[in-house]
């Protein structure tokens, strides 16, 4: 379920699907991620688990569910996915929201001023 209890169909990479299958095991009902007592994890508990795993991995940065989401969106853009496809992936209704993630990435290297200057230098042989 997404924002506003809207159903969301999200494709899973094979590796992710295998990990979920392993977590579910033989269970046919109940929450996918559960506390020790079997009750559903809430978002705060999930955030605490993420922070604990980050500390164990030696990551000193603040880690949250949103920082992982931000990393996934940025990685998709870095991998060359179109802005429209990343917008769908992030379930952003407005493309301006997705552009906020894009603007922060390598802004100087991707600025048309530098791209055009490099292009013209190659076309004229100038350095």
What residue spans define the domains of the chain? 32-63, 66-127
Average of per-residue pLDDT across 72-98 = 88
How much is the CA Rg of the chain, to the nearest whole Å?
A: 20
Phi-psi region at 5: left, alpha or beta (left = phi > 0; alpha = psi -120 to 50): left
Of 1-15, 25-39, 60-74, 109-123, minimum mean pLDDT range = 109-123
* Three-class secondary structure of residue 70 per DSSP: helix
11 contacts 91 by C-beta, under 8 angstroms: no
Please state, for a pLDDT cut of 90, what percent of the chain lies above it. 17
Overall average pLDDT of the 21-35 stretch: 85
* CA-closest candidate to residue 79, choices 2, 29, 8, 13: 13
Q: Model confidence at 101, in pLDDT bands (50, 70, 90)?
A: confident
* DSSP assignment letter at 25: T
Q: Report the distance separating Cα 37 and Cα 23, nearest Å.
A: 16
């Amino acid at each position: 379920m997404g924002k506003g209890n809207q159903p969301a169909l999200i494709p899973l990479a094979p590796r992710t699907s295998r990990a979920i299958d392993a977590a579910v095991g033989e269970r046919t009902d109940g929450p996918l991620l559960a506390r020790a007592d079997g009750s559903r994890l809430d978002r705060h508990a999930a955030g605490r688990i993420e922070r604990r795993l980050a500390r164990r991995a030696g990551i000193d940065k603040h880690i949250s569910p949103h920082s992982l989401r931000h990393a996934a969106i940025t990685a998709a853009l870095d991998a060359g996915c179109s802005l429209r496809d990343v917008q769908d992936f992030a379930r952003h209704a407005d493309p301006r929201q997705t552009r906020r993630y894009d603007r922060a990435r390598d802004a100087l290297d991707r600025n048309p001023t530098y791209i055009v200057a490099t292009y013209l230098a190659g076309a004229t042989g100038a350095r």
